[in-house]
Amino acid sequence: MYNIISLMIISVIIFLVYLALQNDKYEKFIFSIIIGGALGNFYDRVIFAAVPDFIDLHYSNFHWFTFNVADIFITFGIILFILKGFFLKK
């Protein structure tokens, strides 16, 4: 199962690279951010057999999600992609 999921992940990354090559400069940048985060998580998955989460935020009784830098890049890229859809229409 682990190998099947890993193959699916690398397939999605390859598809994202294809999409990046087919789009304009803004989307190339956005897809590059997402691909960079995905490659970071994939590297951790292959080398460490897990994706370690290392930023853990607490405030009083509130516990925020645990995430890593690669997740930040993926999230930021998706937010930019959504904003581009709202504000930069063709």
Please state, in angstroms and rounded to a whole number, the distance separating the CA atoms of residues 15 and 2: 20
Which position among 24, 44, 56, 71 bears the catalytic label? 71
**Whether 24 is catalytic:** no
Exposure class string for 6-45: b at 16+ Cβ within 10 A, else e: eeebeeebeebeeebeeeeeebeebbebbbebbbbbbebb
**Whether 71 is catalytic:** yes
Please state, in angstroms and rounded to a whole number, the distance separating the CA atoms of residues 62 and 79: 24
Residues with catalytic roles: 53, 71
